[in-house]
Structure 1
Amino acid sequence: MRIVIIGGVAAGTAAAAKARRNNEEAEIIVYDKDEDISYSGCGIPYFIGGELKDGAQLTPRGPEFFKEKYNIEVKTRHEVLAADGKTKSLQIKDLSTGREYEDTYDKLIFATGARSVMPPIIGAELEQVFTLRNIRDMYRIKSFLDERHPKEGVIVGSGFIGLEVCESLKALGLKVTLVERLPSVTPGLDVDMATYVEEYLEAKEVKVYKGVSAKEITGTAVILEDGTEIPADFVLLSTGVRPNTEVAAAMGVELGETKAIKVNRQMMTNLPDVYACGDCIEVPHLLTEKPVYRPLGTTANKTGRIAGEVVTGGDLSYRGVLGTGIFRLFEKTIGLTGLSEKEAEKAGYEVVVCHNIKPNKVNYLGGEEMIIKGVADRKSKRLLGVQIFGGEGVDKRLDVFVTAISFKATVDDLFHLDLAYSPPYSTVKDPVAYTGQILEGEINKEQE
């Protein structure tokens, strides 16, 4: 059996490794048009800011590693131009030599990932304008910052990557401005929680423009659609990503509601012997069961493993995604999981929310307030989503909430969790338990 995988980052290499563990005899080949494979994209902002000194630590496994450990052939700088499901053939181009040739497959896995969205901004091609998606982008940005020593940075977009790079640029001494076309920063958070992020950014001397788009970039400034000119000698476009589906769609693979590749829970597409995984696919939401596009490294690894299992005869299935995310912003941490208030209302739930402000540990050991927004369904009492803004301990609470939502916990279940307590780590009654109590109180109050 010849298994061909298009794409060699998180999903593609996870699929390849799992397939090899299951089948020692199969031929497994991975094509990737980039130079780097199996890299830690989430670590990129920390190299840019100098917290990580050696960028090579983000690319610990190259083609040689996969050949030696798994007997998997990985061909970098090789682009798959076309695929034919009837003849089970692929048209390949070696980008180093320009040579084109044909290959064949018995099983084909698309792990083609996603690429940065390029907004229609005049001047986006200028040398001081960057996107950040892969290791090559990282090194280009780092070289520019080290050689040109820019003073004024503008980040267009306020998602996770944009805010993480914001911290990195501030660490390098740049004056930083954020531009967000939506009414609030940090898409994914409800407006009431995003307000805390915005206030914190301003306290860190980061200027924020929201509800307005960037129209033009010149050699010295970013011009907004309302005419505002922001001085800039470095610009990062961090306006989201789009799934790479062109080759798959051209061979007849069906795309879903989100315009990403449509797969079932075993990563099968509509074509026989053709699978897909990672940032190029849509997945079911664990709560609504509706398809969503959530390009996250954790999801890529899971779906890649499932694809590798299924192509070699296994029966693993994907259960769904909650869209859990977390990132550091200076001394604060922002985390979210499940449905936001707005998403829950749109999904048809009878929504009840709470805002719980409690210390992460006892005050006499330096407790610091964290703000937790809980979202629940009034009828079933099920916990639907959580958003947290705070310092130390946000990750711990977020993972408890993720587990609770995954196993269909009701708000009163949170009080009964036997959570770890010691003064350096928590309060006697943890903020998780308080969140459940407050939500339960709101629900009971409405029912009286």
Structure 2
Amino acid sequence: MKKVLIVGAVAGGATAAGQLRFYDKEMNITVYDRDSTMSYAACGTPYVIGEVIKDETSLLMTDPEKFQQKRNIKVKLEHEVVEIFRAEKKVRVRNLNTGEEFDDSYDVLILSPGGSAIRPEIEGSQQKHVFTLRSYGDMQAIHSYIQKEKPLHCVISGAGFIGLEMAENLKHLGLEVDLVHKSSAILSILDKDLSQLLHAELEKNDVRVHTETVIDKIDDRHVYLSDGKILKADFVLMSIGLKPNTILAESAGLSLGETGGIRTNEFMQTDDESIYAIGDASENFDFITGDPKRVPLAWPAHRQAFLVAQHIVGNPIGKKGLLGTSALKVFSLDAAMTGLTETAIKEKGLNAQTVTHTGNSNAGYYPDHEKLTLKVHYHPETRQILGAQCVGGKGVDKRIDVLATAIFGGLTIDDLQALELSYAPPFSSPKDPVNMIGYKAFD
């Protein structure tokens, strides 16, 4: 009977365990995680804090007791794997409640350790009103602090996914919000012209946006910025990025890639064929360029878990690369993207042209329609679609999902004309914005 140990019990780890049990009823499976909860929907945490989601426990997909009863999988929470002994195929585990340590053996080891929020080393960053949002426990701590202390002024450092979602949710709670971002444009995975639409939407909703500056110091009631501004702040959220948790892998002699993630092959195996790495801490490759890529999102973690399970049970399926398809909501606007950005195209020296279409999400005469802007980059000679982005009031995710599918399927920019997409006045127009991109790019 094959024995599998899994480090990490959230998206990647829990899914890998479930997939393995589905395909092998006899396998011995144990999952270790240092947190007190497992398999929670991390993407929902800002909306619990903003009280859009009323019941925080709705984010919990399962618990160790259910995993044991329904799937015969052992889950040990508040247990941290602190060392890997590759030659002996053993790990050392520490019970975080008692401090006791013990060894456990494996035939196969799956690393799904996730990542940790980066907390910069600045004066005052360790104070009780300074938070990061990465775990279920972080969410509970922030929610509790807001309810008990009733802060009035919040400063968010970092205008990525979490920073923008938290800005919206904190405004819903009635807080004054300042958003501080190091770069000249927010949400760097969008092209600058489209990120400006989100910038305007934030300011329209009274979020004060400060670009090209960082926090230098924090005291009890204020934040001091590098540009000399002083902001009121009785609540501070540091949301400047995610560092992959690779210390365990590094200490075991497993190599890291260019992105800082654990290097993996097409089946998600590390340097050691008995050890796999999935999720936020694993390095993969870009679907379009083949270059190293790390995408700390839920979809890649779930897909990688399936690929690993298939490989372990003897049905190898190679990974195809990642596009980084993603979406978010910022007040009344939605944004979504897939593939390469303008910046990435320039950095890689690729030959590209761009076509942009601004129009309605659906029939303009239908009362429920919104404006959207769809932007697509493509190679002018091969006509390969390199990337796409969309910002608008509705229908944004649909268009990017179509374009992600088109890229995956090898369709060209000209093929977009011929896509027979669903139409009725509440949903689209006879020529969908995706079709319009194809027509506009046609020479």
Q: TM-score range with shorter-chain normalisation?
A: over 0.9
The 1-side partners of 2:332 and 2:179 are apart by 18
1:48-67 paired onto structure 2 within 5 Å: 48-67=49-68
1:13-412 paired onto structure 2 within 5 Å: 13-366=14-367, 367-412=369-414
Identity between Structure 1 and Structure 2 (%): 37
Structure 2 unmatched runs, 5+: none
1:369-421 Cα distance to aligned partner (Å, 9 max, x none)? 10111111111111111111101111111111110111121111001000001
The equivalent residue for 1:432 is 434
Range with greater deviation from structure 2 (249-258 or 303-312): 303-312
2:416 pairs, out of 414, 431, 440, with: 414
| Residues 156 and 179 in structure 2, CA contact (< 8 A), matched pair in contact too | yes
| Residues 17 and 308 in structure 1, CA contact (< 8 A), matched pair in contact too | no
Give the aligned residue type for 1:64: E
SS at match of 2:365: helix
| Residues 202 and 331 in structure 2, CA contact (< 8 A), matched pair in contact too | no
The 1-side partners of 2:83 and 2:250 are apart by 10
The equivalent residue for 2:4 is 3
Shift of 1:136: 0.3
The 2-side partners of 1:160 and 1:72 are apart by 33
SS at match of 1:396: helix
Range with greater deviation from structure 2 (129-138 or 363-372): 363-372
The 1-side partners of 2:440 and 2:49 are apart by 42
Give the aligned residue type for 1:22: Y
| Residues 263 and 269 in structure 1, CA contact (< 8 A), matched pair in contact too | yes
| Residues 201 and 330 in structure 2, CA contact (< 8 A), matched pair in contact too | no
| Residues 152 and 233 in structure 1, CA contact (< 8 A), matched pair in contact too | yes
The 2-side partners of 1:306 and 1:376 are apart by 30
1:410-440 Cα distance to aligned partner (Å, 9 max, x none)? 1110010000010111111111111122223
Give the aligned residue type for 2:328: F
Shift of 1:363: 1.4
1:17-63 Cα distance to aligned partner (Å, 9 max, x none)? 11112222211000000011111001111110111110000013000
| Residues 278 and 295 in structure 1, CA contact (< 8 A), matched pair in contact too | yes
The 1-side partners of 2:182 and 2:121 are apart by 13
| Residues 359 and 373 in structure 2, CA contact (< 8 A), matched pair in contact too | yes
Give the aligned residue type for 1:158: A
Shift of 1:345: 2.5
SS at match of 2:310: helix
Shift of 1:131: 0.2
SS at match of 1:434: helix
The 1-side partners of 2:150 and 2:338 are apart by 38
The 2-side partners of 1:174 and 1:314 are apart by 52
The 2-side partners of 1:121 and 1:187 are apart by 23
Shift of 1:312: 2.3
The 2-side partners of 1:405 and 1:120 are apart by 41
Shift of 1:120: 2.5
Shift of 1:282: 1.0
Range with greater deviation from structure 2 (304-313 or 226-235): 304-313
The 1-side partners of 2:83 and 2:149 are apart by 40
Q: Following superposition, which runs of at least 4 residues in structure 1 exceed 4 angstroms of deviation?
A: none
| Residues 267 and 303 in structure 1, CA contact (< 8 A), matched pair in contact too | yes
| Residues 338 and 386 in structure 1, CA contact (< 8 A), matched pair in contact too | yes
| Residues 14 and 308 in structure 1, CA contact (< 8 A), matched pair in contact too | no
1:259-304 Cα distance to aligned partner (Å, 9 max, x none)? 1100011011111311111111011111011111110001111111
The 2-side partners of 1:254 and 1:60 are apart by 33
| Residues 374 and 439 in structure 1, CA contact (< 8 A), matched pair in contact too | no
The 2-side partners of 1:375 and 1:121 are apart by 39
The number of equivalent residue pairs is: 441
Shift of 1:347: 2.5
Range with greater deviation from structure 2 (359-368 or 330-339): 359-368
**TM-score computed with the length of structure 1 as normaliser:** 0.97
Give the aligned residue type for 2:141: R
SS at match of 1:96: coil
Shift of 1:354: 2.1
SS at match of 1:146: helix
Give the aligned residue type for 2:396: V
Give the aligned residue type for 1:400: V
| Residues 246 and 281 in structure 2, CA contact (< 8 A), matched pair in contact too | yes
SS at match of 1:319: coil
1:130-159 Cα distance to aligned partner (Å, 9 max, x none)? 000011000000001111111111110001
SS at match of 1:357: strand
1:213-242 Cα distance to aligned partner (Å, 9 max, x none)? 111111111111122101111111011101
Give the aligned residue type for 1:128: H
| Residues 39 and 60 in structure 2, CA contact (< 8 A), matched pair in contact too | yes
| Residues 310 and 316 in structure 1, CA contact (< 8 A), matched pair in contact too | yes
Shift of 1:346: 2.4
The 2-side partners of 1:116 and 1:273 are apart by 29
1:54-86 Cα distance to aligned partner (Å, 9 max, x none)? 000001300011111110000000001100100
Shift of 1:314: 2.1
Range with greater deviation from structure 2 (304-313 or 234-243): 304-313
RMSD over equivalenced CA pairs, Å:
1.0
The 1-side partners of 2:227 and 2:396 are apart by 38
Give the aligned residue type for 1:73: K
The 2-side partners of 1:58 and 1:30 are apart by 20
Give the aligned residue type for 2:213: V
| Residues 372 and 389 in structure 1, CA contact (< 8 A), matched pair in contact too | yes
Give the aligned residue type for 1:394: V
Give the aligned residue type for 1:43: G
Give the aligned residue type for 2:375: K
